[in-house]
Amino acid sequence: MRIFLSMMGALLFLASAKFGYCLLIDEKLNGTEFVSLVIAFAVIGLILSFSSEVQEFSVAGNIVKLKEVKRDAEKSISELKSARTETFRFLLSLAKRHPGGFADGSIAVDGRVNDFWSLYNQIVAFNCEAELSEDLLEIVDVLLKGQLVSISRHSDAVNRKYDRTDETPEPSQLTIEALDNDSVAEAAKRNVAGGDESIIKKTLVVGLDEYKKLYELREKHQSKV
């Protein structure tokens, strides 16, 4: 950082000197003004180079306390980061709530899943995932169970095996059970998806894919806690 600031200070001084010289050649500055300009930018360049060490300096009688400004800025940034994390934590708690109205029986995806992924992407973008690991585990566990219920509406085998249980099976096991031909045929007889077995299977594949993503996210954060 010190080397970078020194380079920036030197570049600023050289650029200002060249600019002032051009103005001097064009007679837009006299000799005294040129010297004043160069000195002013030399001082600014030095301040920039040693900004990490300089406690304060005076400009036209006004004292600028660099370190205090830096400390205040760092404190504000820290407070903003903390507030951002707490906001995400609050939004995650809201994401567990069921949406209003009736569930859409034509899809095998829990109504909260899409909103959760949008929120999760923001959490990752702002580098808050590690801080919110426990909160993410909590909501993912809730959504996995909700996703299992959504899948069970299209699969009699899944409904029979996991109804009223807290079990969340591995995705590979759940896929075999959900796409079992006999189970799909039973769902068709109940007129799920208008009795069309191909649509039932396609719907289940979408739901199973969402279940797998949630399951993998839970595995990821369980290893960190």
Identify the H or E element spanning 91.
helix 66-95
Both ends of the chain: CA-CA distance in Å? 34
Determine the pLDDT at residue 16.
61
Instruction: Please check whether residues 215 and 139 belong to one and the same domain.
Output: yes
Rounded to 5°, the CA angle 107-110-114 comes to 100
The model's pLDDT over 131-144, given as tens digits with 9 standing for 90+, comes to 999 999 999 999 99
What residues have CB less than 8 Å from 117, skipping those under 6 apart? 213
Percent of the chain whose pLDDT exceeds 70: 63
Is the pTM for the entire model greater than 0.75?
A: no
Instruction: Please check whether residues 202 and 133 belong to one and the same domain.
Output: yes
Expressed as residue numbers, the domain containing 218 is 83-222
List, as own/partner pairs, every contact residues 86-91 make where C-beta atoms lie below 8 angstroms and the sequence separation is at least 24, other chains included: 88/119, 88/122, 88/123, 88/126, 88/128, 88/132, 88/135, 89/132, 89/135, 91/119
Instruction: Please check whether residues 123 and 170 belong to one and the same domain.
Output: yes
**Could you tell me if residue 74 is inside a domain?**
no
Distance CA 146, CA 208 (A): 12
Instruction: Please check whether residues 50 and 96 belong to one and the same domain.
Output: no
**Could you tell me if residue 167 is inside a domain?**
yes
Instruction: Please check whether residues 113 and 208 belong to one and the same domain.
Output: yes
Count of domains forming the chain: 2
Instruction: Please check whether residues 93 and 50 belong to one and the same domain.
Output: no
Average pLDDT score over residue span 177-201 = 93
Instruction: Please check whether residues 50 and 87 belong to one and the same domain.
Output: no
Q: Is there a contact between 154 and 193 (Cβ–Cβ < 8 Å)?
A: yes
Determine the pLDDT at residue 59.
47
Average confidence score pLDDT of the chain? 79
**Could you tell me if residue 68 is inside a domain?**
no
Average pLDDT score over residue span 43-49 = 56
The model's pLDDT over 53-105, given as tens digits with 9 standing for 90+, comes to 444 544 445 545 555 556 666 776 777 788 888 999 999 998 888 765 555 66
Determine the pLDDT at residue 72.
66
Q: How many CA atoms lie within 13 A of 159 on its CB side?
A: 13
Which phi and psi (to 5°) does residue 53 adopt? -105, -25
Average pLDDT score over residue span 119-134 = 93
Instruction: Please check whether residues 194 and 89 belong to one and the same domain.
Output: yes
Distance CA 13, CA 38 (A): 7
Instruction: Please check whether residues 114 and 47 belong to one and the same domain.
Output: no
Q: Of the spans 11-20, 27-36, 99-108, 147-156, which averages the highest pLDDT?
A: 147-156
Distance CA 118, CA 125 (A): 11
